[in-house]
């Protein structure tokens, strides 16, 4: 029996047996690629948004913190909906939720595109801010709904190779980043950001078509009749709680950094286009490598893969925060890109393998926590750090110049001090100038802006370093118990049994 049909055995009593054989295998793979396209759509939108942050800052005069808040709003919606969707996925039905995701994706494009005409009609920066924020939030609702479905779906369809197939599923994310980055590179300076932003609808239409006529199974826990209370009881496990904390750190460092990375590296390389190409390059690495997670896991186990990834991520970000030449930037970004490649899908696989009785709820909680962390902490936090270090550097070197370039608004992040970052429109004008045409004062502004981005990356590097330590502790813990093993549900009593 092939892997796709193994998920469709042992149906609960009273239910008709599900289709097995070649038709089941075809259905499983069709759903896998539909999920791939849904995540691809999220990646395209995320990538293009990262490439047009500078356009928004210049057009509407946003600070880096405000841009981070807009980006964060999208990720917050993503996280909230994954959590809610995971709770109701098996009850509502995966197919209906995918229709809802399609509708939200479509409406998000309309609201986002309204920012420019409303700003032109009112001249109100705040109105444009809320159009972009709400549009990103709706886009994220579509993303979150889709991911609340496709993660437990693929884990159910391929129970013996969850790490491998979840990595293939999530290859759609870097695939979307590549396509979005290339679109931004080709269209930058040639097409308005509004045209770029709507390109994510192409894979949205694709996944909608691929879902038509498909049969969506339920999670392993639901198939075995595990009650809702039993699913929630899984959260009493200390290991699961630790994994949730680690995934919150992962959301901050991976998605938070990705929201800014092309913007920061483009500044380091003195070329917005080169920053986009570097982002496309690292995303291409992720895309290719995620198809090889299975063979790698067979050699070093999922936790070993996570430890190596977090270590490389910390090294890569640290180097990116210090390097100055193009070649070293590429090498540093490569280390970071390889490091983050397997982290997100492998974390989902570990939770699904170790806590199958949690069904869609536990795997959904992981995705939700990661997205919430990225939205509430990662995007805004990295934006705040850029503003903090850039404004501090310019103020210390030239207080009058800081007064000239500071934003008219103040920002704060969590409990950290309130700051007045640099005006996005004024800094954007400096960035747009060739280095040889800038005045000495403009060079000071540019240097301060660059310093802020570098320092933000150096501070962020502490997050994957912490993750690496925690993964090492988990490796030691499981080794003391005889090694990491998958857990499967068996019998009417829903006993969980480890399988080597």
HEC per residue, the chain: CCHHHHCCCCCCCCCCCCCCCHHHHHHHHHHHHHHHHHHHHHHHHHHHHHHHHHHHHHHHCCCHHHHHHHHHHHHHHHHHHHHHHHHHHHHHCHHHHHHHHHHHHHHHHHHHHCHHHHHHHHCCHHHHHHHHHHHHHHHHHHHHHHHHHHHHHHHHHCCCCHHHHHHHHCCHHHHHHHHHHHHHHHHCCCCCHHHHHHHHHHHHHHHHHHHCCCCCCCCHHHHCCCCHHHHHHHHHCHHHHHHHHHHHHHHHHHHHHHCCHHHHHHHHCCCHHHHHHHHHHHHHHHHHHHHHHHHHHHHHHHHHHHHHHHHHHHHHHHHHCCCCCHHHHHHHHHHHHHHHCCHHHHHHHHHHHHCHHHHHHHHHHHHHHHHHHHHHHHHHHHHHHHHHHHHHHHHHHCHHHHHHHECCCCECCCCCCCECCECHHHHHHHHHCCHHHCCHHHHHHHHHHHHHHHHHHHHHCHHHHHHHHHHHHHHHHHHHCCCCCEEEEECCCCEEEEEC
Per-residue confidence band for 74, with pLDDT thresholds at 50, 70 and 90: low
Residue 2: per-residue pLDDT: 35
**Tens digit of each residue's pLDDT (9 = 90 or more) over 119-150:** 888 888 889 899 998 888 888 889 889 988 88
- Name the residue with tokens 């210390």: 396
pLDDT above 90 for 199: no
Residue 307: per-residue pLDDT: 96
d(CA 333, CA 315) in angstroms, rounded, equals: 10
Which domains are seen in the chain, by residue range? Answer: 26-499 (1.20.1250.20)
**Tens digit of each residue's pLDDT (9 = 90 or more) over 414-457:** 888 888 888 877 887 888 787 788 888 888 988 898 888 889 89
**Tens digit of each residue's pLDDT (9 = 90 or more) over 200-231:** 889 998 888 888 877 777 766 666 677 778 88
Mean of pLDDT over the chain: 82
pLDDT above 70 for 23: no
* Structure-model confidence comparison of residues 493 and 5, the more confident one: 493
Average pLDDT estimate for 87-100 = 81
Residue 172: per-residue pLDDT: 92
Residue 309: per-residue pLDDT: 94
CA 63-65-70 angle, 5° bins = 95
Residue 327: per-residue pLDDT: 87
Whether the CB-CB separation of 329 and 261 falls below 8 Å is answered with no
Residue 426: per-residue pLDDT: 84
Residue 15: per-residue pLDDT: 37
Residue 209: per-residue pLDDT: 87
Q: Which of 308-317, 469-478, 488-497 has the lowest mean pLDDT?
A: 488-497
Per-residue confidence band for 75, with pLDDT thresholds at 50, 70 and 90: low
Residue 499: per-residue pLDDT: 54
Residue 496: per-residue pLDDT: 55
Average pLDDT estimate for 163-175 = 89
Average pLDDT estimate for 286-311 = 86
**Tens digit of each residue's pLDDT (9 = 90 or more) over 318-328:** 998 888 777 89
pTM for the whole thing? 0.78
**Tens digit of each residue's pLDDT (9 = 90 or more) over 363-411:** 888 988 988 888 788 878 888 888 889 889 999 988 888 888 888 888 8
């Amino acid at each position: 029996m092939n892997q796709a049909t193994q998920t469709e055995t042992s149906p609960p009593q009273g239910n008709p047996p599900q289709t097995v054989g070649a038709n089941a295998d075809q259905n499983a793979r069709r759903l896998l690629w539909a999920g791939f396209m849904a995540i691809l759509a999220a990646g395209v939108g995320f990538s293009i948004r990262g490439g047009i942050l500078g356009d928004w800052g210049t057009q509407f005069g946003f600070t880096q913190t405000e841009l981070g808040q807009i980006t964060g709003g999208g990720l917050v919606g993503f996280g909230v909906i994954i959590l809610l969707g995971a709770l109701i996925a098996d009850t509502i039905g995966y197919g209906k939720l995918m229709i809802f995701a399609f509708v939200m994706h479509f409406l998000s494009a309309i609201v986002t595109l309204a920012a420019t005409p409303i700003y032109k009609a009112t001249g109100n920066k705040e109105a444009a801010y809320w159009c972009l924020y709400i549009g990103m939030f709706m886009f994220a609702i579509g993303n979150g709904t889709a991911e609340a479905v496709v993660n437990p779906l693929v884990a159910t369809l391929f129970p013996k190779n969850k790490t491998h197939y979840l990595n293939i599923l999530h290859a759609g994310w870097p695939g979307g980043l590549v396509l979005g980055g290339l679109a931004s590179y080709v269209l930058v300076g040639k097409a308005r950001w509004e045209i770029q932003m709507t390109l994510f609808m192409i894979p949205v239409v694709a996944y909608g078509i691929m879902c038509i006529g498909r049969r969506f199974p339920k999670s392993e826990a639901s198939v075995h009749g595990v009650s809702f209370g039993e699913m929630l009881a899984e959260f009493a496990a200390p290991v699961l709680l630790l994994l949730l904390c680690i995934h919150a750190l992962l959301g901050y460092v991976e998605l938070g950094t990705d929201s800014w990375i092309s913007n920061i590296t483009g500044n380091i390389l003195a070329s917005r286009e080169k920053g986009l190409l570097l982002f496309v390059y690292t995303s291409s690495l992720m895309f290719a490598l995620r198809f090889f997670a299975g063979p790698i896991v067979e050699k070093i186990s999922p936790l070993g893969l996570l430890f190596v990834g977090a270590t490389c991520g910390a090294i890569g970000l640290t180097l990116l925060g210090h390097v100055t030449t193009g070649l070293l930037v590429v090498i540093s970004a490569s280390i970071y890109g390889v490091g983050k490649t397997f982290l997100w899908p492998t974390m989902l696989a570990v939770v699904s393998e170790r806590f199958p009785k949690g069904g869609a709820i536990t795997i959904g909680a992981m995705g939700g926590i990661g997205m919430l962390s990225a939205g509430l902490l990662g995007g805004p936090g990295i934006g705040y750090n850029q503003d903090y270090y850039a404004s501090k550097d310019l103020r210390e070197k030239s207080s009058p110049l800081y007064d000239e370039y500071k934003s008219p608004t103040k920002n704060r992040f969590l409990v950290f001090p309130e700051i007045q970052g640099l005006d996005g429109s004024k800094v954007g004008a400096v960035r747009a100038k060739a280095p040889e045409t800038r005045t000495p004062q403009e060079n000071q502004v540019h240097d301060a802006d660059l310093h802020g981005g570098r320092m933000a990356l150096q501070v962020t590097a502490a997050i994957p370093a912490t993750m690496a330590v925690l993964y090492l502790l988990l490796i030691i813990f499981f080794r003391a118990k005889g090694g990491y093993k998958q857990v499967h549900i068996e019998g009417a009593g829903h006993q969980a049994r480890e399988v080597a």
